[in-house]
Amino acid sequence: MFFILSHLKCPTRFIRFNNANLDYKSKLITKIQSTMEKFMLLFRGGNTHIATAKSREAMDVIQTWNDWMQGLAEKGMLAGGDALQVSGKYVKGTQKIVADGLYATGNEMVGGYLIVQANDIDGAVEMAKGCPILLEDGSVEVRPIQQRN
């Protein structure tokens, strides 16, 4: 998903996408229910060239993502998210060895994430089934976020 979310800017929790402001902030504040559980959707793989493409196909893919995220927000299910840059470093092991690059590459690379709310993990999985990255042969990992007392 990084090809889509790479255009996403969330400094004030307004989601901006290709200079189009999709104001989810008020919907997020008013619709998120405290009784719902939070889940992280991790996006891997997909068609990574879309980020720089200007073709009609690329614009259609971007609009599909836009529509999907807006639908989640309008239902009070979207609690946040961001894209991840394609560069980074990682620290590994007891020796704390630092390496340049990503820990995973290709279809295993995490390109972005969303935090969503659902009644249970099955509801979050149903949400993930609508993710446009699946149309690009990518994957969505659904992980419950631990609640703190």
Query: Which letter does DSSP use for residue 147 in this model?
Result: P
- 60 burial level (CB within 10 Å; 0-12, 13-18, 19+): exposed
Amino acid at position 143, single letter: R
For residue 40, give the H/E element and its range. Answer: strand 37-44
Stated as kind and residue range, the H or E segment containing 5 is: helix 2-5
> In this model, does residue 138 exceed pLDDT 80?
yes
Is pLDDT of 36 > 50? yes
Mean pLDDT score, 4-17: 36
What is the predicted pLDDT for the residue at 59?
82
Per-residue DSSP letter, 6: T
Domains of the chain plus CATH, in order, are 2-144 (3.30.70.1060)
**Which helix H or strand E contains 3, and what residues bound it?**
helix 2-5
The pTM of this model reads 0.71
pLDDT at 17: 42
Q: Is the dihedral of CA 94, 95, 100, 106 positive or negative?
A: negative
Taking Cα atoms as reference points, which of 116, 95, 114, 92 lies closest to residue 104?
92
Mean of pLDDT values over 141-145: 97
Q: Name the pLDDT band for 10 (thresholds 50, 70, 90).
A: very low
44-94 confidence digits (pLDDT tens): 887 655 555 678 887 888 889 889 999 999 999 999 988 777 788 889 899
Higher pLDDT pick, 123 / 14: 123
